[in-house]
Amino acid sequence: MSRLNANNELLAKEVIARYPIKKSALIPLLHLVQEQNGYVTSEGMTHLAELLDITSAEVLGTCSFYEMFKLEPVGRYVINVCGTMSCQLLGADELIHHAEERLGIKVGATTDDGLFTLEKAECQAACTEAPCLQVNYRHEYRVTHGDFDALVDRLVADSKKNGSAVIPPHGTLSETRQHIPAGRAVGAVAPDEVDGAPVWLPVDEPEETA
Amino acid sequence: MTLGGVEIERAAGFVANDTPRIVTSRFGVDDSHTLVGYLATGGYEGIRAALKKRPDEVHSQITEATVLGRGGAGFPAGVKWGFMPKDVWPRYLVVNGDESEPGTYKDRLLMELDPHQLIEGCLIASYAVGLSQCFLYVRGEMAVAQERIATALNEAYEAGYVGRNILGTDFSLDIVLHWGAGAYVVGEETALIESLEGNRGMPRLKPPYFPAAIGLYGKPTIVNNVETLANLPWIATNGAEAYRAIGTESSPGTRMVAVSGHVKRPGVYEIINGTTTFRQLLFDDEYCGGMREGRTLKAFVPGGGSAPWFLPDQLDLPFEASQVGPAGSMLGSGAIMVMDDTTDIPKAAHSLTRFYAHESCGKCVPCREGGTWLERILGRIVDGHGTTRDLEMLIEVGETICPGDFPHAASERLGLEAQRFPYQMTTICFVGPSAFAPAHSALTLFPEEFRDRVREVSDDDPVATGVGAVPVELKGVGAQ
Amino acid sequence: MTPPNDTEASPTVSITINGAAVEANPGELLIDAAERHGVYIPRFCYHPRMNPVGMCRMCLVDVDTGRGPGLQPSCMISVSEGMTVDTESERTQRAQEGILELLLVNHPLDCPVCDKGGECPLQDQTVAYGPGESRFVEEKRHYEKPIPISDLVYLDRERCILCDRCTRFASEVAGDPLIHFIDRGNETQVNTFPDEPFSSYFSGNTVQICPVGALTAEPYRFKARPWDLAENESTAVVDSTGARVVLQSSRDELVRVLGVDSDAVNWSWLSDKERFTYEANRSEDRLTDPLVRSESGEFATARWSDAAAFAAEAFAVEPDRIGVIGGARLPVEGQFMWSSLLTGLGVNDVDPQIGDGLDLDLVRSLPRATIADAAAPGGVVVLLCGDLKEELPTLYLRLRHAAVEDGAALIELSARATGLARYAKAKLHPLPGSIDDVAGALAAGTLNEAVGGVDPADLAKVAELLGSGRPVTVVVGRTNLAEDAGLITRAAAALHELVPTAKFLPALRRGNINGAIETGLARGRSTTEILRDAAAGEIETLVLLGADPLADHPDRALVSSAFDMVENLVAVDTFKTASSARADVILPAATFGEVDGSFVNLERRISPLRAKVTAPGQGRADWMIAAELAVALDQDIDVASLDDVRAQLSAAVPAFADVDWNNMDRGGDGPLLGSSGATGPSLAEIAAATSVAVPAVDGYGLRLVVDRKLWDLGTMVQQSPSLAHLAADATLSLAPADFDALGVDQGSTVTLSGPGGETAELNVSASRDLPRGVAHIPFRASGFDVGTFLSASTAVVDVRVNAG
């Protein structure tokens, strides 16, 4: 199933409704396609084009701009080792070499068992915890070579636990989704259909413009 | 306890005891990220106080407090809000949580450890200037921050802090959690808006210089950094005077600074703005406690990977833009990367130039082509295949991105005067110049490390560039 | 970008460019202001008809606005009072050199084999402003060499400098974002989605605006080099928009057509039909000699004088037993000569429409709008017409721009959602047969009840827009060929009654139809009436002036029986068509690009047609053919040259009295014709005389909607080798909601039954463009001739659809 399944299509429509203009939902929905399939499928992109009333080329144009979207299948765990300055100063290059040896693959490749894809990444906003890496975009800090080996062992074991795995397979980011209760939602309005200031602004009060 | 690896026990040193804590006050507090934890520590008092005032009074309060933007440009938030044209509706708030500047690590902590504080900041800003919908854009690679904010928003909606008729008033606001997918340039505010519109995150043309006039969907839009907004609940509760009592006249309040690299205690510190010096931050025991054992400071990047580098000569400068600029660099996003005497300077510079070349959106030719070219030249030098001609080319290619004199620090050792910040640029945004900045700093401040690495060639050497200059052949050119 | 409107008197802005004080228009971009004053600033991404994007940075110049000089991209900044600009400073020159060096970093140096070589902005600017040598020794970007991104366009990504012109055009101008930037940064490329080609009707424009040789058009690839080309400015004749073009030839063969930036008409854009149908000129099927049917029934080539004499015999019947169909292909001069010839013979029945147009009394009586009126910022445009994207694509671009960029409000009043629907403020899609009732309800202000299936809320929305006081233009044409044209007459009259200040733009699509109307080649019985009378034996001689009614008239059966009955069939044509193949004599005409002449577009704007190549064989200009026949018929027509024809036309027809024939397009666009001075019936009289009996909706049936596609089985498309295969398939489309009711499946084959018991098997697909209760089939599409289901004698056509 590489288009969105029925549940995810419903979810997609809920997300789309939050935006004044539908296309704004594109990146969150590409994540949804990736969450469902592990990567962004061609059929998934076409499906999003239909839902958002844009062309597939526009979907691909946006999708291919962002590094997290994978257009080919990747491992269950994508390991991104940071190589930017702070991590580089504290041994990122050596950590990447170690990771390549431990996993038996070069950067950019996926292990034969489909468990790991190794990538060299750029700054992950954890510079004080260098060298760092992410597994499916969850951080590991101050990673020694021993830490890395233990992490791999843990993930291998974890992958065998169905449902109770600590780190979900590649594609899933937050496992909690935002939900706006119908009774509490203000609702998105198309920008051209808004006329006038919000009700809480006093009508006659001159606005302070500093 | 630990949170995703951050040792919260360190909180005492994390923020000095004698330092006022405005945005990090809940760091280290159990359940700081939950609604219960937040309410137990004065949460949502700021919006309650704000709702008792007229919106324009709240706006004045924030303007008077002078909250300098914490995303990098340092522009005061209240003034920025005032740039919105009158009588053009709707107006939007976009929260810039796309923290990705090398060395920067603060917004993620604020989102993971105190998401309600950020939400409250969004409420105050929106109430003050009539922003009718808020989009909270979190960097794609921050799964935990997304999780915490989604949970916090769900709690806040249920409890009546967000959504329709907030706290029983006629103030209503939807806050939509949005997240990116991996592109540094989206941190630039117009690129952020493009991305939020579902497009490639390519910066928009300037003018207009601020999206306040023409932003999301072409409507007036305020883009504020996470840390900027996180300051608002404290100001709304304690007042602008209390805020201005901290720091200096031109840089009031506190700011979060991440210090990484070769120091004893790398970490994120909330420091007093304007007065704290780099020396205090790097060497005082309440902060980083000095260099790693037995090492000395060689250089540091004072304001995120884009900033020209400083030497030990500049340690006594305070966190004050009006002093750092003339000294040749910028404060940027509050990120210091420290290099000790073991550092391979060309290699360190290469790691940053590579970052910016890789993160070019591809829009402006100087950045798209020039950034990659710089990265290749620098890579060649690091690998030992460079020539003296490459050193000249590094500067010449850089000058196509940044014409004229590029800022740099003074060096007593080299007898070098400072060249003040900022620079001129031929690109729309700062990604292109940022690819040049580390290369320029490294080459200017540590020329010997490059000269030792490259092969000497003379200008008229036919194979000066290693492979030989390729003349541009234009056979078949017509009469025109 | 809409260029600054200089019709309003507004104060100017004083700036200094390279030391000279000049006046610029407020809000004008610096790059434009400089160019207007003779200072060309080099650029790649900037295009005056598109929004600036500031990608290439080639147009950086030294600008001082009081804070000291610095480099600024001149395509992004507007002029401001006191601005000082130096486009030749050392800083500017260094920047230009630097940018060019960077552009060449990844650009292959294959100029000798590149189609663009010799007319390439990158090449030219490198010579003028470049560094002279490249120091880039690294590996360049590599891609598969030219890939077809559509049937007509190839893309060489290695040559591409990523200026965003083609992609911006596709998205911003055409509204077909099927090509896009893909990937990021240094890896950025232009491409389509896999297996979804750039099938835009406007794709050729991307080739024209590409500043390097990255995009090439299939019909022109490797055909010629720029220094071999000769060129002439002319006007496109494939539809009535009258887009201005440049014709380029090499060795007496048309090899390329480019759009000219006519401010009034096409803003430099062309549809691919306007751009590429020049191929038909040299089609192997082109008629080269007069053909006369021999005793054996076969065509034989003949000398002109013999063929003319043979044709003349056909005119030797009572004038009211002669009917003439066609004439919209002819230049104005040919039309006038034919009109004069017919007048001399006493023939009073000629119709340039082929049963698919409007009541010409209506067209004459409506106050005429210009394209600029219709596309004016802030206006209201009623689209009482077919799908302009299919029928008049260049007009579509102007109206799309008006809606997207200039705040014009579009209202669709048509049988189905058209290509402009996504930009429309309101959409009314009444059931066939009720469009006049909907317009009538608007005029009467009875907005409370549904009419023709149209929701009252939508009616009210339209009434509000029409009553808003904003200027109203109605584009009027046939929205459905299966529906009586009288309904449009009544609807147009109702709109005129509702908004008396409204102006009308007739969307009659045939090339020079407006020239035919103005020159008098449109009078008496209509084509349908002529055919009916012919079928009844009352017409002896039928003359086809570039008309192919057997394929083009909606009522297939009627034309067949008319052809069977007439004694003499005379054709003047460029091709042997379904109709001309039935003629007794065919006289070969010279056409577009082969003759000098004039063209009147749908605004009544006259512009020149210019010859660039010679006609093949013995093809002659239409005015000469008419003159030849006049001689054969002993008519007193004294013309020896085109100038003679024009002089007579100016003298005879008031609308042409003031035309300065040799300077029509000097200074840009041709002029609007003067008043015709003609008096005809009033609009109210015309409407009152038009009655249409529409049967009640049959509960089991669907009402047929038939309209045109740009790519069809029409002669010009089919005779152009690069285009012929693009003809649309005859798919039956239904509203999604009708599928369940009918019990048919999407994509299945269904049986269509017509009112006369005729049946056809067709593939069915769902279309959100349709209201419920209708069945849509394109006219002249490939695989099925829907003309066999149409009848000129019924107001609407009801059909049934059955599974299997």
Q: Are C799 and C728 contacting, i.e. CB atoms less than 8 angstroms apart?
A: no
- Rounded to whole angstroms, the Cα distance separating C664 from C54 reads 37
Domain identity same for C481 and C343: no
How high is the mean pLDDT of chain C?
95
A64 contacts C183? CB cut-off 8 A: yes
pLDDT at B190 over 90: yes
Between CA C517 and CA C529, with CA C523 as vertex, the angle to 5 degrees is 120
Residue range B17-30: mean pLDDT, rounded: 81
Residue of A nearest to B170 (CA): A200
How many other CB atoms are there within 10 angstroms of residue B424's CB atom?
16
Domain identity same for C239 and C326: no
Residue B2 lies in a domain: no
CATH number, domain with residue C574: 3.40.50.740
Residues of C in contact with A61 (CB under 8 A): 180-182
What digits encode the pLDDT tens for the residues C636-647?
Answer: 888 999 999 999
The DSSP H or E segment spanning C727 is: none
Q: Give this prediction's pTM.
A: 0.94
C736 interfacial to chain A (CB closer than 8 Å): no
Structure confidence at residue C698 as a pLDDT band (50, 70, 90): confident
What digits encode the pLDDT tens for the residues C746-758?
Answer: 899 999 999 888 9
B465 contacts C58? CB cut-off 8 A: no
Structure confidence at residue B222 as a pLDDT band (50, 70, 90): very high
A vs B: CB pairs below 8 A: 265
Structure confidence at residue C804 as a pLDDT band (50, 70, 90): confident
Residue C243 lies in a domain: yes
- Rounded to whole angstroms, the Cα distance separating B193 from B186 reads 8
Domain identity same for B77 and B225: yes
Residue B462 lies in a domain: no
Residues of A in contact with C181 (CB under 8 A): 61, 65
Predicted local confidence at residue C643, as pLDDT: 97
The whole domain housing B446 covers: 345-451
- The 3-state DSSP class for residue A99 equals helix
Domain identity same for C385 and C500: yes
Residue range B234-240: mean pLDDT, rounded: 95
The whole domain housing C739 covers: 702-803
Residue B447 lies in a domain: yes
Task: List chain A domain ranges.
Answer: 6-63, 77-159
Strand partners, B270: B256
Residue range B359-365: mean pLDDT, rounded: 97
Q: Per the structure block, which two tokens stand in for C97?
A: 């050199």
Domain identity same for B319 and B446: no
Domain identity same for C618 and C634: yes
Domain identity same for B54 and B167: yes
Domain identity same for B217 and B328: no
CATH number, domain with residue C431: 3.40.228.10
Q: Are C489 and C686 contacting, i.e. CB atoms less than 8 angstroms apart?
A: yes
C184 contacts B361? CB cut-off 8 A: yes
Give percent above pLDDT 70 in chain C.
99
B176 contacts A128? CB cut-off 8 A: no
CATH number, domain with residue C150: 3.30.70.20
Number of structural domains, chain B?
3
Q: How far is CA B53 from CA A58, A201, B50, B448, in A?
A: 45, 11, 5, 61
CATH number, domain with residue C66: 3.10.20.740
C181 contacts A60? CB cut-off 8 A: no
Between CA C742 and CA C744, with CA C743 as vertex, the angle to 5 degrees is 95
Residue B460 lies in a domain: no
C131 interfacial to chain B (CB closer than 8 Å): yes
Q: Supply the DSSP string of C194-217, one letter for each residue.
A: TTB----TTTHHHHHH-SSTTEEE
Predicted local confidence at residue C603, as pLDDT: 97
Domain A77-159 class, CATH top level:
alpha beta
Least-confidence region, from A159-163, B12-16, B254-258: B12-16
Domain identity same for C311 and C439: no
Q: How far is C112 from chain B (nearest CA, A)?
A: 5
Q: Among C133, C137, C227, select the one facing B471 at the smallest CB separation.
A: C133
Residues of B in contact with C95 (CB under 8 A): 400, 403, 426
Residue of C nearest to A69 (CA): C183
Diameter over CA atoms, chain B:
80
CATH number, domain with residue B361: 1.20.1440.230
CATH number, domain with residue B230: 3.40.50.11540
Predicted local confidence at residue B11, as pLDDT: 30
Interface of A with B in 1-20 (CB under 8 A): 18-20
Domain identity same for B107 and B75: yes
A42 contacts C180? CB cut-off 8 A: no
Q: Are C438 and C491 contacting, i.e. CB atoms less than 8 angstroms apart?
A: yes
Residue after which a domain boundary falls, among B193, B223, B244: B244
Structure confidence at residue B207 as a pLDDT band (50, 70, 90): confident
B469 contacts C134? CB cut-off 8 A: yes
Domain identity same for B333 and B363: no
Domain identity same for C476 and C521: no
Residues of B in contact with C189 (CB under 8 A): none
Least-confidence region, from C6-20, C185-199, C406-420, C611-625: C6-20
Q: How far is A60 from chain B (nearest CA, A)?
A: 10
A55 contacts C193? CB cut-off 8 A: yes
Domain identity same for C35 and C72: yes
Residues of C in contact with B358 (CB under 8 A): 185
Domain identity same for B267 and B362: no
C77 interfacial to chain B (CB closer than 8 Å): yes
Domain identity same for B308 and B260: yes
Handedness of CA C233, C237, C238, C243 (dihedral sign): positive
Domain identity same for B82 and B229: yes
Residue range C14-32: mean pLDDT, rounded: 96
Domain identity same for C246 and C296: no
- Rounded to whole angstroms, the Cα distance separating C619 from C611 reads 13
pLDDT at B14 over 90: no
Q: Among C178, C183, C422, select the one facing A57 at the smallest CB separation.
A: C178
Residue range A127-140: mean pLDDT, rounded: 96
Domain A6-63 class, CATH top level:
mainly alpha
Residues of A in contact with C184 (CB under 8 A): 64-67
Q: Per the structure block, which two tokens stand in for C228?
A: 């071999």
B161 interfacial to chain A (CB closer than 8 Å): no
Domain identity same for B126 and B146: yes
Domain identity same for C149 and C244: yes
Residue B354 lies in a domain: yes
C173 interfacial to chain B (CB closer than 8 Å): no
Residue C363 lies in a domain: no
Domain identity same for B208 and B281: no
B86 contacts A210? CB cut-off 8 A: no
Structure confidence at residue C10 as a pLDDT band (50, 70, 90): low
pLDDT at B13 over 90: no
Radius of gyration of chain A (CA): 21
Interface test with C, best of A60, A68, A69 (most C CBs within 10 A): A60
What digits encode the pLDDT tens for the residues C265-322?
Answer: 999 999 999 999 999 999 999 999 999 999 999 999 999 999 999 999 999 999 999 9
Domain identity same for C615 and C716: no
pLDDT at B68 over 80: yes
- Rounded to whole angstroms, the Cα distance separating C518 from C497 reads 25
Predicted local confidence at residue B3, as pLDDT: 32
pLDDT at C68 over 50: yes
Number of structural domains, chain C?
5
The candidate with the shortest Cα–Cα distance to C193, out of C175, C172, C171, C178, is: C178
Strand partners, C763: C749
Residues of A in contact with B150 (CB under 8 A): 174, 176-178
Residues of A in contact with B217 (CB under 8 A): 20-21, 191
Phi then psi for C657, rounded to 5 degrees?
A: -55, -40
pLDDT at C42 over 90: yes
Domain identity same for C458 and C597: no
Query: Pairing between strand C568-573 and C541-545?
Result: parallel
Domain identity same for B148 and B25: yes
Domain identity same for C653 and C516: yes
Interface of C with B in 403-432 (CB under 8 A): none
Interface of B with C in 449-478 (CB under 8 A): 465-478
pLDDT at A99 over 70: yes
What digits encode the pLDDT tens for the residues B378-417?
Answer: 999 999 999 999 999 999 999 999 999 999 999 999 999 9
What digits encode the pLDDT tens for the residues C451-490?
Answer: 999 999 999 999 999 999 999 999 999 999 999 999 999 9
Q: How far is A42 from chain C (nearest CA, A)?
A: 8
Residue C220 lies in a domain: yes
Q: Among A45, A55, A66, select the one facing C177 at the smallest CB separation.
A: A55
Residues of B in contact with A69 (CB under 8 A): 181-182
Residues of A in contact with B169 (CB under 8 A): 200
How high is the mean pLDDT of chain B?
91
- Rounded to whole angstroms, the Cα distance separating B25 from B20 reads 9
Residue C8 lies in a domain: no
Structure confidence at residue C168 as a pLDDT band (50, 70, 90): very high
B357 contacts C185? CB cut-off 8 A: yes
